[in-house]
């Protein structure tokens, strides 16, 4: 499968793009993927050469899996791989038509320290685990950190576009909105894991978060949508550890809180303003997560302790270019496409 098709097919569309869009946004070496944005969550809708369609969720903080139902429906080729005492089934993505292509996972994975995990990544060779998960929420599969890692992406939330770039030259006008993105690395500077960490300021407190396009808030059946303006039954969200939530609630009693409103009894808090990359935007909904989920869980895969994750409830205000190789993100606050 090719990541980029022949320049002839793209010449005319790209010429039009260059004429009508600002410098640094859509460049000739970029490919607009067949993405669908639903309540600030990003799905890819591919069409195979056989004429089948499939929907995969995208999650910078997640893994790479396909559902058993999708494997059966598309008759995907599977293999069984042995990881120590465990045997896992894996499958490759099918071939797609050029105008609805979903790129395969990149050949270069993170340089993982843990021998067992490194062995697993090498054995996968771009294939995805076949595993039952809550696909009512995730679609028929999920593309995660190793699919995003090593590449350059533009997440255009207001314009509902996901763009894969071969290179990127940021315009000087956005220099003040460029921020570093941090990764867990080895002593040679190579990424041990492709989990991006980014900083944001809330109530004059600088916090570290996982950059998480897949962060999802799923409301409980008993939650009245009128009590959570801006959220639907399932929406792109952000997460905060429970101890920090309690501090926010105590220090800012005027911030709207809805108790046990989300899945697994999570509390919700509506933060009026979040500052990131030189912008201040809001409101932003956060769902609580147990402290251990990030303090002793997610943080061990990152370069620094994180207090939660930021996703669609914050990213909805921005067009974001995330450059994994050069470890930076550029934010553009725009309501246009």
- Within a 10 A sphere around the Cβ of 199, how many other Cβ atoms? 18
Asked whether the CA dihedral 281, 287, 292, 293 is positive or negative, the reply is: negative
**Phi, psi (deg, nearest 5) at residue 210:** -75, 130
Asked whether the CA dihedral 266, 267, 268, 271 is positive or negative, the reply is: negative
Residue 165 structure tokens: 């770039």
Looking at the domain assignment, is residue 95 inside a domain? yes
Question: Distance (Å, rounded) from C-alpha 135 to C-alpha 103?
Answer: 21
* β-bridge pairing 178-180 and 86-91: unpaired
Same structural domain, 91 and 195: no
* β-bridge pairing 308-310 and 256-262: unpaired
Looking at the domain assignment, is residue 1 inside a domain? no
Same structural domain, 189 and 126: no
Cis ω on the peptide bond leading into residue 49 (within 30° of 0)?
no
Same structural domain, 116 and 211: no
Q: What is the mean pLDDT of each run of 10 residues along the chain (337 residues)?
A: 36 33 52 95 95 95 91 91 80 90 68 40 67 73 92 97 93 95 92 94 98 95 88 96 97 97 94 98 97 92 95 98 97 75
Same structural domain, 242 and 280: yes
Same structural domain, 224 and 153: no
Tally of domains within the chain: 2
H helix or E strand, kind and range, residue 80:
strand 78-83
Question: Distance (Å, rounded) from C-alpha 208 to C-alpha 276?
Answer: 11
Same structural domain, 186 and 312: yes
CATH code of the domain covering residue 190 = 2.40.70.10
The residue segments making up the domain with residue 84 are 7-169
Looking at the domain assignment, is residue 2 inside a domain? no
* β-bridge pairing 205-211 and 216-218: unpaired
Looking at the domain assignment, is residue 113 inside a domain? yes
Same structural domain, 194 and 214: yes
* β-bridge pairing 30-32 and 161-165: antiparallel
Same structural domain, 281 and 179: yes
Same structural domain, 42 and 186: no
Domain boundary among the residues 146, 169, 192 is at 169
Same structural domain, 150 and 218: no
Same structural domain, 72 and 202: no
Say what the pLDDT of residue 119 is: 44
Looking at the domain assignment, is residue 179 inside a domain? yes
Question: Distance (Å, rounded) from C-alpha 58 to C-alpha 69?
Answer: 18
Same structural domain, 158 and 203: no
Instruction: Give the full edge-to-edge strand order of the sheet including 318-323.
Output: 30-32, 161-165, 152-156, 318-323, 328-333, 178-180
Looking at the domain assignment, is residue 189 inside a domain? yes
Looking at the domain assignment, is residue 35 inside a domain? yes
Cβ neighbourhood burial of 193 (10 Å; 0-12, 13-18, 19+) = buried
Domain boundary among the residues 169, 191, 225 is at 169
Question: Distance (Å, rounded) from C-alpha 166 to C-alpha 26?
Answer: 11
CATH code of the domain covering residue 63 = 2.40.70
Looking at the domain assignment, is residue 315 inside a domain? yes
Domain boundary among the residues 140, 169, 198 is at 169
């Amino acid at each position: 499968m090719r990541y980029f098709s022949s320049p002839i097919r793209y010449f005319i569309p790209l010429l039009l793009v260059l004429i009508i869009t600002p410098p640094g946004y859509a460049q000739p070496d970029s490919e607009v993927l067949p993405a669908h944005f639903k309540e600030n969550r990003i799905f890819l809708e591919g069409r195979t050469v056989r004429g089948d369609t499939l929907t995969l969720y995208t999650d910078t903080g997640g893994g790479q899996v396909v559902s058993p139902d999708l494997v059966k429906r598309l008759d995907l080729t599977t293999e069984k791989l042995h990881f120590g005492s465990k045997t896992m089934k894996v499958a490759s993505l099918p071939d797609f038509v050029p105008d609805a292509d979903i790129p395969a996972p990149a050949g270069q994975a993170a340089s993982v320290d843990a021998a067992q995990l490194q062995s697993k990544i090498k054995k996968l060779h771009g294939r995805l685990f076949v595993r039952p998960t809550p696909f009512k929420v995730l679609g028929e599969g999920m593309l995660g950190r190793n699919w995003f890692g090593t590449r350059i992406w533009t997440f255009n939330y207001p314009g509902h576009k996901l763009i894969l770039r071969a290179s990127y030259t940021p315009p000087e006008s956005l220099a003040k909105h460029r921020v570093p993105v941090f990764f867990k690395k080895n002593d040679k500077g190579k990424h041990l894991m492709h989990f991006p960490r980014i900083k944001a300021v809330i109530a004059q407190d600088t916090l570290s978060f996982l950059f998480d396009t897949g962060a999802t808030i799923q409301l409980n059946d008993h939650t009245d949508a009128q009590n959570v303006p801006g959220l639907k039954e399932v929406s792109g969200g952000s997460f905060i550890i429970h101890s920090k939530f309690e501090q926010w609630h105590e220090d800012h009693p005027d911030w709207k809180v809805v108790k046990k409103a989300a899945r697994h009894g999570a509390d919700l808090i509506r933060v009026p303003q979040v500052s990131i990359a030189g912008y201040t935007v809001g409101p932003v909904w956060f769902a609580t997560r147990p402290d251990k989920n990030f303090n002793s869980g997610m943080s061990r895969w990152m370069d620094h302790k994180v207090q939660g994750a930021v996703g669609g409830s914050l990213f909805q205000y921005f067009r974001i270019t995330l450059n994994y190789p050069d470890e930076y993100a550029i934010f553009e606050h725009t309501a246009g496409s």
